Amino acid sequence: MLDRPAPRETTDDGVRPRTARGAVRRDRRWVLSAYDSFLGSGSLPAGIDPLVAASWRRSLRSGVDPEHPRGAGGLDPAELEEYRSSHPLRPLMPLVRELVVEPARDDGLVVAVSDDVGRLLWVEGDARTRTSAERLGFAAGAVWREEDVGTNAPGTALATRRAVQVLGAEHYSRSVQSLNCAAAPIRAADGRVLGVLDVTGGRAAGSHVALSLVRATVASLEREIAARTAAGTAAPTPTTAPRPATSELTLLGPPALRRPDGLHRLSGRHAEILALLGEHPRGLAADELAVLLHPGDLSEVTVRAEISRLRRVARDLVTGSRPYRLAPHVRADVDVVRAHLAAGDVPAALAAYTGPLLPRSVAPGVERVRAELAAEVRTAVLAGGDAETLDAWTRTDDGADDVEAWRLLVRRAPQGGPRWSRARAHLAVVDAALR
């Protein structure tokens, strides 16, 4: 399900950083050459991912031996179980297993959850990959901080406090350069980092879908944390106000909000704000929202005024102010699509993907999320879709001009059948137009 050529690295906003002199390079032979050059001279070519370059430099300053990293020893089973039993992430492990461990197992991946200092608390998934990782010291109880073992997704995500993906030779320790990994921090409702979710393995872990899977899972976990926090802080008395009923947010198509009292239309700007807050469960400050909402200059005062108007329309949708957060009871159709993708149910994801995210929006942050979501769905369809799923994809706005999908449909549909004939006819028209 997750196989795809090596992805682009992303920042918190899903954008691949670029160097001053060109695009980031990730081909293994070139990165290995740059890595050897760095170890020998301390210099780096422009093509190395700035995030990786900064991590290599930190690893060098920390004195990490690339040949023999000094990973901290693990806890014995009794100590580890005692520690895990009281950790705030323990209640979320059933959700982690449902959303990512089980779907990833078929792709030869292992899933690790660490604490806020880099100690691996749970390492689960494919047995063969897990055994190989354990030989390298990547096992429950061990500490995988960047300052101990060098550049690695869980350690670097902890060091940078953002989602990262580290491919093969980008690891600082030679012993783990055969692996790919993607990881993201898990935050409490108040923004504190509780730990890191990591996916490690072979080619599948190096795909863009793997990073999207991690980010979508972390978003679900942080919503659950926020909901549990809200429920736990409410006084357990008969007069306590009940938690708000779930509000369904429609962002794939004309924006709308469905609440117990009916359907409410949303302005484009309010929908953009809610979409961006949904993509950043840790919250966004007014200045961050301003950058994501407008390609030019948008003042913080304007952002605060828009959120004030949004709260007058629906007071309980946005919580806090420094930063602003989407209320935990709000569920967007984007979340539904990503939940199905995380579970490996491509037909359900495609059925829920009713159109591009806020197609009329030109907000930079929304445009990035729109492109990323479309890519996530497309990748899943092409990687594992049968003829029926491919046929459904080519009937969407995003898939109608997807030549690769049409060609796959010709190969996978029964020859001579209606889907095969439709795909052949479409490709004939495309070929004629190109000639």
DSSP labels, 96-157 = HIIIIIHHHHTTT-EEEEEETTSBEEEEEE-HHHHHHHHHTT-STT-B--HHHH-S-HHHHH
The answer for residues whose C-beta is within 8 angstroms of residue 224's C-beta and 6 or more apart is 92, 95, 328
Q: Are strands 262-265 and 256-259 parallel, antiparallel or unpaired?
A: antiparallel
Q: What is the pLDDT of residue 111?
A: 95
* Distances 373 to 6, 105, 258, 332 between C-alpha atoms, Å: 18, 23, 22, 13
Distance CA 433, CA 435 (A): 5
The structure tokens listed for 287 are 């200045």
Q: What is the pLDDT of residue 7?
A: 37
Q: What is the pLDDT of residue 153?
A: 94
Q: What is the pLDDT of residue 429?
A: 83
- Cα angle, residue 334 at apex, residues 197 and 342 outer, rounded to 5°: 40
CATH H-level, domain 28-229: superfamily? GAF domain (3.30.450.40)
Q: What is the pLDDT of residue 251?
A: 93
Q: What is the pLDDT of residue 291?
A: 86
Q: Helix 364-384 vs helix 387-394: angle between axes, to the nearest 10 degrees?
A: 150
Q: Report domain extents, the chain.
A: 28-229, 245-384, 399-435
pLDDT tens digit sequence for 69-92: 765 566 778 888 888 988 999 999
Q: What is the pLDDT of residue 73?
A: 63
Q: What is the pLDDT of residue 18?
A: 39
Phi and psi angles of residue 358, each rounded to the nearest 5 degrees, phi first = 35, 70
Q: Are strands 330-332 and 247-250 parallel, antiparallel or unpaired?
A: parallel
Q: What is the pLDDT of residue 182?
A: 94
Running along the chain, 435 residues long, what does each successive block of 10 average in pLDDT? 38 36 73 89 81 89 83 74 90 88 84 92 92 90 89 92 91 92 90 92 86 86 84 42 66 86 86 90 83 78 83 78 81 88 84 90 90 88 83 86 88 89 86 72
Q: What is the pLDDT of residue 109?
A: 92
Q: What is the pLDDT of residue 199?
A: 95
- Cα angle, residue 334 at apex, residues 102 and 350 outer, rounded to 5°: 70
Q: Does domain 245-384 have CATH number 2.40.128.120?
A: no
For the chain, helix (H) and strand (E) counts, in that order, are 18, 11
